[in-house]
Amino acid sequence: MSFNDADRALLAQLADVLIPAGETMPSASQAGVAGLQLDQVLAARPDFAASLRGLLDQARDCDPAAFVEHERQVNSAAFGVLAEFVPSAYFLDERVRQKIGYAGQTAQTLDERPDYLDDDLLDSVIRRGPIYRPTPKS
Provide the whole-model pTM.
Answer: 0.75
The closest of 79, 56, 57 to 69, measured between CA atoms, is 79
Is the pLDDT score of 126 beyond 90? no
Give the residue from 21, 22, 16, 8 showing the smallest Cα distance to 63: 16
Share of the chain above pLDDT 90, in %: 72
The arithmetic mean of pLDDT across residues 107-112, rounded, is: 82
Tell me what pLDDT residue 44 has. Answer: 94
Supply the pLDDT for residue 106. Answer: 85
pLDDT at residue 86, as a whole number: 96
Q: Tens of pLDDT along 40-79?
A: 999 999 999 999 999 999 999 999 999 999 999 999 999 9
CA-based radius of gyration for the chain: 25
How much is the average pLDDT of 89-114? Answer: 88
Question: What pLDDT, in 10s, does the model give residues 2-26?
Answer: 899 999 999 999 999 999 999 999 9
> Mean pLDDT throughout 82-86?
95
pLDDT of residue 1: 74
